[in-house]
Structure 1
Amino acid sequence: MTATGTGPAVNPRFAVAHQVADAVLFEGYVLYPYRASAAKNRMRWQFGVLVPPAWGAGSGEHSHLRTECLMEPRRGAGLHVELRFLHAQRRTVQRCGGDGQFTEVERLDLPDRILSPWDEGVEERVELVTDVDGLCDEGVVLPFTRPAREEAEEVRDASGTLAGRLVRRRERVDGVLRLTAAELPGPYRVMRLTAVVENAGGWAPEPGAPADRDAALPHSLLSAHLVLGLTGGSFLSVTDPPEWARAAVAECRNEHCWPVLAGADGGSDVLLSSPIILEDHPQIAPESLGTLYDATEIDEILALRTAALTDEEKREARGTDDRAAAVIELADTMPPEVLERLHGAVRALRDVTGPGAPPPEPGSTVPGVEPGTPWWDPAADRSVDPEHDRVVVDGVPVGAGSRIRLSPGLRRTDAQDLFVHGRTALVEAVLHDVDGAVHLAVTVDDDPGAELRREQGRFLYFQPDEVTPLEDA
């Protein structure tokens, strides 16, 4: 067994997995508007937080993560394991006075940035290489420590005069990585691998002190996740295992993590155990040109809104964190043609020629498709006609031009539905979605914006069981 500490990963087997793992590591690190003063950036570190046991006992936070999966290793195969997490580095700001003394402040204004207190995230890595066969005996236990440290960085203004300094402090973090494996009975050589990461730190809040999550975070493993790779053999998918392995996979116990296949080119020799739910073989969209730290948001929207920040807001973002400053720079320098790429991308097109048939060549005709109409255009499907299709509601054919009364169903969650309940409306079109459901596009009577909705094609949509016809059959 060998183990290494911090630093960039050196295992080329993990190159593809690291693209997604990096996004997991920094998900939510700093959110739009990328300023330390923003409310959404006050409550941080939401994923993969492993706190000291003394704090986790009564806080609802976790002190460990447990990954269990099945693997089919070849004889003599090795297992490469990387534990990756962020180590909180608490940064304070000090102003330099006329007497050369430093005083801690909440804000230090500079021409290009505004500095304020902030918790930076320092990437940490624990790497281990071991033989698979050895895990079936006593397993492997690897304790690790990241020591406390403090450093100061001088800050100078545009003239070169010493304006202050940034003081960065890291607290000691202790942990343990445990690996075991057990061979399962059956005709195939299948093993259940168990990997447990624990925060083994002895930090505890002062007796009688109020619960303070911020005090525990510097002693925690943040955004903790595992990357595992086999030198020979493969892992089995936990989300979609082969039929013969479903029962054994169902017995795997995963706590505070979600393992997915992440090998290159769809390979199954690498597994990513993530603190957030992913699908097998997750990928970063090729259109994304930089990290925006919010995978739940659309890159185009974030880029546009970031570019629209005021100069004062951008100064504060640049002073919040180097990573936030990089986002501002990315948004300010993004060429129009690159921004256009973020507007949307077609990954796959519907096949209208039949199961298994390739898309038609440009210029060719397809049965049921209007000649000259692109085969991927929804209007090309002759089987539907929004302006003339009808759907039967309470024995009455309803279509464009029909008058109805609205009764939004309980399954809806939009509070605006309360304002149209019981109102009468005009059906503008009957639409069919890809799942076969029918939707009625309507405009509400007495709506002053009805004509504008018709021009823009922006209607309200209801299903047939949410309306009552106002006309007899």
Structure 2
Amino acid sequence: MTAVGAGAPGVGAPGAAAPGVGALRAGAPGGVFPEEVDRRFAEARQIADAVLFEGYVLYPYRASAAKNRLRWQFGVLVPPGYGEDSGEHSHQRTECLMEPRPGDRLAVELRFLRAQRRTVQRATAAGGFESVDALELADRVLVPWDEGVEERIELLVPVEELAGDGIVRRFDLPACEEMESLREDGVPVGRVLRRRERVDALLRLATQEVPGPYAVRRLTVVVENTADWTPPTEARRDAALPRALVSAHLLLGLDRGSFLSVTDPPEWARSAAGQCRNEHTWPVLAGPPGRGQVVLSSPIILEDHPHVAPESPGALYDATEIDEILALRTAALTDREKREARGTDDRAGAVIDLADSMPPEVLERLHGAVRGLREITGNAPEQPWWDPAAESEADPDRDRVVVDGREVGAGSRVLLRPGQRRTDAQDLFLHGRTAVVEAVLHDVDGSVHLAVTVEDDPGADLWRAQGRFRYFQPDEVTPLEEP
């Protein structure tokens, strides 16, 4: 990944601080964090880069593809003037538990993409230039596109300064323009204009003491887009993206202390971890398993200590696909499609080159991997430890559960309102939709789940025939009047 700085952004904050101690730094990493903290961050940046570029450009890697016309779905922090009525967010809030040591310092690295709008122009016979939808070159087809420029904001601050109201650090990245001349055989054929809009944002950090037997503090980090931008009437999302923080996420590290897992905290800290409030992001322990010095707060839900599969040959920017299938399909694109992909984005061109140059032994390595083996000794049990078919107390087709004082079971109509604590992004798209309950299910832990099909879903009959449903818990639905 290539880090591209934004020049020398303006940085303002209440109370000036010495460089490296509570001061912000923008651009490529280095020079702010202690060597050991920077090494730990480097270990976590591989998975952080996967978050940063998730969905950046999708197969078939062409700007003309429908799936590449609505981009950047994770961690987009838009100006507050646009986000209020659009359903987009202007802030992220991260809360986690940490055990700092006396004199400890907190390292913060805010990472995001900045949309750089690219305009393509063709040289005219009169010596001027005119904007075009596509410019045919020998090795690529250039089209208008929003490129992603990586930005990093670094902050190192003593933990004791964060007590109480904490600190606020503001930063701005100024607008800028660039021009690239295009020549073939020494003759000017066109040019590319690139423009970045001004981005204004802030970091708000504070800690609170957590009652208990250990010196634990709750860390709160808020990232907020503060751009004073009034969108034009009926402005589209494309107008807000150049002023947004895209794929925004945080790396947090302690000089000497450590963090506690919010997902799987120790028993004595479970209550305090449950009180942490995270909005539009989720913190997990990063780096090698067994360590807790680094937290990655990601807009994509991850598990503690996430990692990229060692077999992966490189970034494909499409984590919803299997690397083997994606590499094969990319290599099978036509020459014309590959030229369009190379003209869409340099990163897309790198994927094309990777697929074309992948040797058979690397491709074979993608076919599957065994992560671990365990020895089975003795005779296998005749029956599984739990057989749902033999469970006499559960009848999914006839069981009922009381929701808001009303019985709900197979055939009941409900309004879906997914909860934030256990649903994924796809469930959130169903908020406010109506559904029909197909079964009431009980798991071995005693929880109740409702299997539903969404009304007005053209594939509902197919899902029902295959026994494939969407599942919600009773507190995530509201009963509706029976037809």
TM-score using structure 1 length: 0.76
TM-superposed deviation, 1:151:
0.7
1:133 to 153, 156, 160: 160
Q: 1:43 and 1:164 mapped to 2: Cα distance?
A: 27
CA offsets 1:371-427 (integer angstroms, 9 cap, x no match): xxxxxxxxxx7969xxxxxx999xxxxxxxxxxxxxxx8759795985996xxxxxx
Letter in 1 for 2:364: E
1:350 positional shift: 3.7
Select the residue among 334, 339, 351 that pairs with 1:310: 334
Give the C-alpha shift of residue 85 in structure 1: 0.5
Structure 2 residue 368 is matched with structure 1 residue 341:
no
How many Å separate the matches in 1 of 2:267 and 2:61? Answer: 46
Query: In the alignment, which residue of structure 1 is the partner of 2:56?
Result: 29
Matched, 1:184 2:218: no
Q: Of the candidates 298, 310, 318, which is equivalent to residue 294 of structure 1?
A: 318
Residue in 2 aligned with 1:327? 351
**Residue 270 in structure 1 maps to residue 291 in structure 2:** no
1:267-307 deviations in Å (ceiling 9; x for gaps): 10100000010000000000011100011210001100000
Compared with structure 1, are the counterparts of its residues 172 and 241 closer, same or farther at alpha carbon in structure 2 (3 Å cutoff)?
A: same
Output the CA distance in 1 between the equivalents of 2:271 and 2:463.
50
Is 1:3 equivalent to 2:27 in the alignment?
no
- Partners of 1:210 and 1:418 in 2: how far apart? 39
* 1:119 counterpart = 2:146: yes
Distance 1:67 1:55 in 2: 22
Q: Choose from 57, 60, 67 the match for 2:84.
A: 57
Task: Give the distance between the partners of 2:460 and 2:198, measured in 1 at CA.
Answer: 51
Structure showing greater radius of gyration is 1
Q: Deviations over 1:223-251 (max 9, x none)?
A: 00010001111111010011111111111
**1:148 and 1:236, CA in 2 relative to 1: closer, same or farther beyond 3 A?**
same
Aligned to 1:79: 106
Give the 5 Å matches for 1:191-340.
191-206=217-232, 209-340=233-364
Secondary structure at the aligned position of 2:278 is classed as coil
Post-superposition Cα deviations, 1:87-111, rounded to whole Å, max 9, x if no partner, equal: 0000010000122100000000011
Matched position secondary structure for 2:231: coil
Q: In 1, Cα distance between the equivalents of 2:322 and 2:252? A: 30
After TM superposition, give the deviation of residue 160 of structure 1 in Å: 2.5
Partner deviation per Cα, 1:171-195 (whole Å, 9 max, x = no partner): 0000000100111222210101000
User: Equivalents in 1 of 2:186, 2:115: separation in Å?
Assistant: 30
* Alpha-carbon displacement from aligned partner over 1:328-359 (angstroms, at most 9, x marks no partner): 00000000110000111111124313xxxxxx
Instruction: Give 3-state SS (helix, strand or coil) of 2:269's partner.
Output: helix
Deviation at 1:24, TM superposition (A): 0.2
Q: 1:212 offset after TM fit, Å?
A: 0.8
Pairing partner for 1:98 from 91, 114, 125: 125
Shift of 1:7: 1.1
Q: Write out aligned runs for 1:429-444 (5 A).
A: none
Read off the aligned partner of 2:23 and give its amino acid letter: T
Residue 201 (structure 2) pairs with residue 175 (structure 1): yes
Residue of 76, 79, 89 corresponding to 2:116: 89
Corresponding residue for 1:145? 172
Shift in alpha-carbon separation, 1:52–1:392, aligned structure 2, 3 A: closer
- Cα offset, 1:137, TM superposition: 4.3
TM-score in terms of structure 2 length: 0.74
The residue that corresponds to 1:446 in the other structure is: none
Q: 1:419 to 1:322 in 2, by over 3 A?
A: closer
Name structure 2 gaps, 5 residues minimum: 1-21, 32-37, 391-437, 440-450, 469-483
SS of 2:206's partner is strand
**Amino acid aligned to 1:173:** V
The alpha carbon displacement at 1:139 in A equals 1.5
Amino acid at match of 2:162: L
Change (3 A) 1:247 1:290: same
In the alignment, residue 214 of structure 1 is paired with which amino acid? D
Tell me which amino acid in the other structure corresponds to 1:188.
Answer: Y
SS in 2 for 1:264: coil
Paired residue secondary structure (1:266): coil
Distance 1:18 1:392 in 2: 47
Partner of 1:19: 46
State how far apart, in whole Å, the 1-side matches of 2:142 and 2:358 are.
Answer: 25
Distance change in 2, residues 1:319/1:45 (3 Å): same
Amino acid at match of 2:211: P
State the one-letter code of the partner of 1:8.
Answer: P
Question: Residues 415, 49 of structure 1: CA spacing in aligned structure 2 closer, same or farther, 3 A cutoff?
Answer: closer
CA distance in structure 1 between the aligned counterparts of 2:165 and 2:238, rounded to whole angstroms: 37
2:75 corresponds in structure 1 to 48
1:295–1:134: structure 2 CA closer, same or farther, 3 Å change rule? same
Q: Find the counterpart in structure 1 of residue 477 from structure 2.
A: none
**What is aligned with 2:424?**
none
Task: Go from structure 1 to structure 2 and tell me whether the alpha carbon gap of 1:165 and 1:265 turns closer, same or farther (over 3 Å shift).
Answer: same
CA–CA distance in 2 between the matches of 1:300 and 1:416?
31
- How many angstroms apart in 2 are the aligned matches of 1:320 and 1:418? 38
Alignment partners' CA distance in 2, 1:8 and 1:323: 21
Give, in whole Å, the separation in 2 of the partners of 1:337 and 1:131: 49
Shift of 1:3: 2.2
Q: Tell me, what secondary structure is at the counterpart of 1:352?
A: coil
The amino acid that maps onto 1:333 is: S
